[in-house]
Copies of this chain bind each other. A is one copy, B any other.
Amino acid sequence: MPRNKGFVLASRPTRDEPAGPHNFKLIDIPVGEPDAGQVLVRHSYLSLDPYMRGRMNGGKSYASPQGVGDVMIGGTVGEVVASANARFAKGDLVVGMGGWQLFALSDGRDLRKIEDNSIPVQAWLGALGMPGVTAWMGLHRIVEPKARETVVVSAATGAVGSVAGQLLREAGARAVGVAGGPEKCAYAVAELGYEACVDHRAENFAELLAAAVPKGVDGLFENVGGEPFQQTMRRLNPFARVAVCGLVASGYDGTPTPLPDMRALLDSRAKMEGFIVSDHMSLWPRALGELSALARNGKLRWRESVAEGLESAPAAFFAMLKGGNFGKQLVKLS
């Protein structure tokens, strides 16, 4: 029997000791045999996503916190290596929520079979997975972009933002990205459908943003928070729509992301809505159908940052939270 290993949450971040790799512990875990109804999956890729940082906290959030001592939550793709479930056979490729470990037992309810072999499996964790569906849902449920409208997307080259830019291009809207550094900005414009991209590290960010949105901002897809978010809110047009998808810049560490003046919302009669992709599972099939059709037609591109081996997951995770990744952050497990 092969050996399983995984990372558990060993402790929660505190005010005095910010989150870091010390909060995780690598342990040996029995691989186990599938009971009736179960399957055993060997993971090939683990997805690292900003929401995981929120789960490390103990406080109230939209999801129950990750239990201390439990294997860290995480999306995975892998291969069924043993099955006692009639829906799955040995050799099936599946996407699921196997967590930060090499193998996982599942009752099958979290697993979806990958039927389309024309697309690299790890894409089902990125552009064709939770991040891609997140982009689709924030745009279609909240921003509702119309042709020629200006829509700003933060973390424009991240797993969510890179899909959002391309969906906006397909909708005929003018996508303006916000990203960290000239290399990411150049990529956003060259490959991801953005008509402009502003570097949030630039000292004159506010000026650069103003120049990039000469007709104001009709929609905002916010993944980050912080000062760039506040500057973008100041440029909202009447009846603008703001999808609040994430606040990775500050929110997860307990640093508040303030909105400095609610008056912007009143003057613009804007709508602002927080959303979580898992609240709307009924929309997933439609979203995945549209995204995979775009991918098959060569109209959806993405980029990956791949860390090698389970042991690299904690460092890769914290680097991603600081914007160190370029595209979808994955860990190759086998």
Residues of A within 8 A of B (CB): 60-62, 225, 229, 238, 244-247, 251, 256-263, 265-276, 279
Contact = CB atoms under 8 A, between A and B. Distances in A.
A247 B262 contact: yes
B271 A273 contact: yes
Nearest to A142: B271
B265 A272 contact: yes
Contacts of A272: 265, 271-273
A274 B279 contact: no
B256 A261 contact: yes
A276 B266 CA distance: 8
Contacts of A246: 266
A257 B247 contact: no
A272 B259 CA distance: 13
A22 B269 CA distance: 31
B258 A269 contact: no
Contacts of A256: 260-263
28 contacts: A60-B267, A62-B238, A62-B267, A62-B269, A225-B262, A244-B262, A244-B265, A245-B266, A251-B266, A257-B261, A258-B258, A258-B259, A258-B260, A258-B262, A259-B259, A259-B262, A265-B272, A265-B274, A266-B274, A266-B276, A267-B274, A268-B274, A270-B273, A270-B274, A271-B271, A271-B272, A271-B274, A272-B273
Given A258-B260, A266-B274, 16 more contacts: A60-B267, A61-B267, A62-B267, A244-B262, A246-B266, A251-B262, A251-B263, A257-B261, A265-B272, A265-B273, A265-B274, A268-B274, A269-B273, A269-B276, A270-B274, A271-B274
A269 B61 CA distance: 10
A61 to B, nearest CB: 5
A59 to B, nearest CB: 9
Nearest to A62: B267
A54 B262 CA distance: 14
A265 B275 CA distance: 9
A253 to B, nearest CB: 11
Contacts of A265: 244, 272-274
A54 to B, nearest CB: 9
Of listed A238, A257, A258, A267, residue having the most chain B CB within 10 A: A267
Contact of A269 (B261, B269, B279): B279
A110 to B, nearest CB: 22
A272 B274 CA distance: 9
Contacts of A229: 262
